[in-house]
Structure 1
Amino acid sequence: MDIYQKALELHKEAHGKIEVISRAKITTKEDLAVYYSPGVAEPCRVIEKDPEQAYQLTRKNNLVAVITDGSAVLGLGDIGPAASMPVMEGKCALFKEFADVDAFPICLDTQDTDEIVRTIQLISKSFGGINLEDISAPRCFEIERRLKEVCDIPIFHDDQHGTAIVVAAALLNAIKVTGKSMGDLQIVINGAGAAGIAIAKHLIKMNFGNITLCDINGIISAEDPHLTSAQKEMLAVTNQDEKTGLLKDALIDADVFIGVSRPNLVTPEMVQSMNNGIIFALANPVPEIMPDIALEAGASVVGTGRSDFSNQINNVLVFPGLFKGALAARATAITNEMKIAASHAIASMIPDEELASDNIIVSPLNKEVAGVVAKAVADAVVE
């Protein structure tokens, strides 16, 4: 039985992956009076006077909304809200399993930016944080930006920032293995959408080196007439050498390739043209180049998004702990400092003496990661 058939049967058997469990045991009349009417009136009155008390008197202190419009789901594309529900349930299950954070899936039947922003704003008082998921670019940029302006809780688009944080964590360890120098790297990112641009911004904030962004038309440069507004903004901080041409041209003498694009775009010849290249081929399920081919061509370190190869670079290392820390510290936003702290925390999970070309990133199944990330993020909030 292949993995897809097995998943279908297990989903049918389970009727979904999450459920609501009551934290209150209601077995007597007194229980009913305390937890509901008339006793519940008193916490309501307290919160009315001081809305911050909701964090003490309700589950808001540990509740995250996982919200999508179904427009960019996994590798499936625009499949709509109903079909995206299994993914959102899965995300919620990971929140609970890895960080004991309660998360609720909300799939919106609209792709209108104004409607999405307004809807999330209107429900935001019920939650301690909002995890935006699988919303297509460039709308996702504006949705996140506008929500940060009108909401007083953390707003986090995982496809952008979760990917950026875990990529940076893996890269921190990869440069230790290869002996490359922080700040001097020539990095090529293929895929200049939400994830690619977020990765570029995060790596620049951490001062890894020069970033060259590429998309389907080649190197992002001022000469490209097809640029989106988000890509145009990146021209000021990327491609400092003002390169032009295709992906193969960008990869000549590059130290790092990060792919968030499409399968089989990188050839052995491209890898051979790199400088002892670090390859993060993250397209799923088929990466930009298969690990065995990249290693045979001379890559020094190879990571993918897949669990059947070494160095799986997976967002589950990020979002459970990041939200756990943000909620614990009562953060009102996710800042660059929090994201950088999360990257360093994930990287630290492998001691330097255990680092190797096939061991640069901790297993996504390691449940100690969320606690380490949560502490680092909470400390960053306090600082």
Structure 2
Amino acid sequence: MSSSRTQPGYRIASIPGDGIGPEVISAGITVLKKLATVLGSFNLQFNHFAWSSDYYKKHGHYIPDGGLEDLKKYDAIFFGAVGAPDVPDHISLWSLRLALVQPLQHYANVRPTRVLRGITPPLTSTAASPSNLDWVIIRENTEGEYAGQGGRTHIGKPWEVATEVAIFTRHGVERLMRFAFETARKRRRKKLCVVTKSNAQRSGLVLWDEVAKLVAQDFPDVEWDKMLVDAMTTRMVLHPETLDTIVATNLHADILSDLAASLAGSIGIAPTSNLDPTRANPSMFEPIHGSAFDLVGKGTANPVGTFWTAAEMLRWLGEEKAADWLMVCIENVTEKGVRTPDLGGVAETEEVTGALCEEIERVCSGKGGRGSGGRGREALEAGEY
């Protein structure tokens, strides 16, 4: 497929990072390049940044001087994972991922969750069936429990004190809450659940409740309710059909989104968008599975989370049709049974990647329609996705 108009071009900063990050980011770039070539409607230029735990052990830091300013020249960031067995987790997280998210104002972390075609969710005896589980979890991403405020005194003494202070600002809560209501408004069901723990955390999370109530007045078309985070875990498992868009604090949504991914089949399929909704800075896109060092070098890392993340990146860049086509091709592949071991299959990373590239060629070039298996070009052009 080709286009006679001038093709938009996007510069993507690739930060594969640690563990299986390089494996899945490489697979994601292969698929994105294939999609761009077949569609012929946009161009992608990737520039790789070797910021990783190996880089840290060699240089003493993850991000070199001027690194953030370099990133601001790009349209988006494609991020793999951070974390190594011989680097304390709090050092790797705060020195790379959070060192990008916070100064680049990626205050909205968006994690869609649904059961992809061909994947059987683990709790099939419960209400968490494909028709019932279709959510977007929105996580506050720059303050809250991960604000980085606190410290330790009298280290090693019996009277040692360690504090971790959760910081909630009205500005931070309100901008995220408005983003959540706007997201819910764009979805078919127009439902939002606000998750806190305001019975026990009576200052910061009472502020969350109060701001939610105020912001809701500007969105009369959105049906909303609120839930304590502990009760929310059971609601997600037993009554997923009652949920659609979910908003929660940095810590709570971090935990809930991992539960959501597992309910949908595997943490290996889950995407993340770290967004600066003002678009003053490039947003960052990453699968949520982490570095997964137990899988490094085995060739079995699930690349689907990275592929879905790539689709979300395209959507954010304005290539919505390409994102739709990529998601259809991903689900055609999972429906055909080309799945890694975490989804009960036997396929390796390269096999899944190759199958997806073939599916992109088949569907997006017009070589395959409904009669070729899966959902094809006809369904996409009819707007059925």
Query: TM over 0.5, yes or no?
Result: no
Larger radius of gyration: 1
**Structure 1-normalised TM-score?**
0.38
RCO higher in 1 or 2 (8 Å CA, sep ≥ 6)?
2
Larger proportion of strand: 2
More helix by share: 1
